[in-house]
Amino acid sequence: MIAQLDPFHAIAVSTLAHRLAGQGRDIIHMEFGQPSTGAPAKAIAAAHEVLDTDPMGYWESQALKARIARHYLETAGVTVDPSRIVLTCGASPALVMALSLIGGPGARVAFARPGYVAYRNNARALFMEPVEVPCGEASGYQIDAAALVALEPAPDAVIIASPANPTGTIIPADELARIAQVCRERGIRIISDEIYQGITFSGDAPSILTVAPDALVVNSFSKYFSMPGWRLGWLVTPEDLADAARARMGNLFLTPPVISQKAGLVAFDCREELEGYVATYARNRDLLLAALPDLGLKRIAPPDGAFYIYADVGHLTQDSMAFALRLLEDTGVAIAPGIDFDPVEGNRFIRFSFAVSTPLVEEAIRRLKPWFAAQPLLETSETV
Residues contacting residue 370 through CB under 8 Å, at least 6 positions apart? none
Question: What is the smallest separation between the CB atom of 192 and ligand PLP, expressed in angstroms?
Answer: 11
Among 142, 222, 331, 347, binds ligand PLP (CB under 6 A): 222
Peptide bond into 166 cis (omega under 30): yes
Q: In terms of DSSP H, where are the helices of 210-319?
A: 242-248, 258-267, 271-291
Question: What is the smallest separation between the CB atom of 92 and ligand PLP, expressed in angstroms?
Answer: 3
**Measured between alpha carbons, how far is 170 from 182 in angstroms, rounded to an integer?**
19
Count of residues of this chain found to bind ligand PLP when the rule CB under 6 A is applied: 13
Q: What is the pattern of x (binds ligand PLP, CB under 6 A) and - over residues 124-163?
A: -------------------------------------x--
From the list 121, 70, 301, 100, the residue with the least C-alpha distance to 218 is 100
Q: Please identify, using beta-carbon distances, which residue of 84 and 231 lies nearer to ligand PLP.
A: 231
CA torsion 63→68→74→78, rounded to 10°? -120
Beta bridge partners of 157: 109, 189
Q: What is the DSSP letter of 39?
A: S
Indicate whether 354 belongs to the interface with ligand PLP (CB under 6 A). Answer: no
Q: What is the pattern of x (binds ligand PLP, CB under 6 A) and - over residues 87-126?
A: ---xxx-----------------------x----------
Q: What is the pattern of x (binds ligand PLP, CB under 6 A) and - over residues 25-64?
A: --------x-------------------------------
**Measured between alpha carbons, how far is 123 from 110 in angstroms, rounded to an integer?**
10
Indicate whether 165 belongs to the interface with ligand PLP (CB under 6 A). Answer: yes
Q: Please identify, using beta-carbon distances, which residue of 220 and 331 lies nearer to ligand PLP.
A: 220
Q: How many CB atoms lie within 10 A of CB 273?
A: 17
Residues that bind ligand PLP (CB under 6 A): 33, 90-92, 116, 161, 165, 193, 195, 220, 222, 228, 233
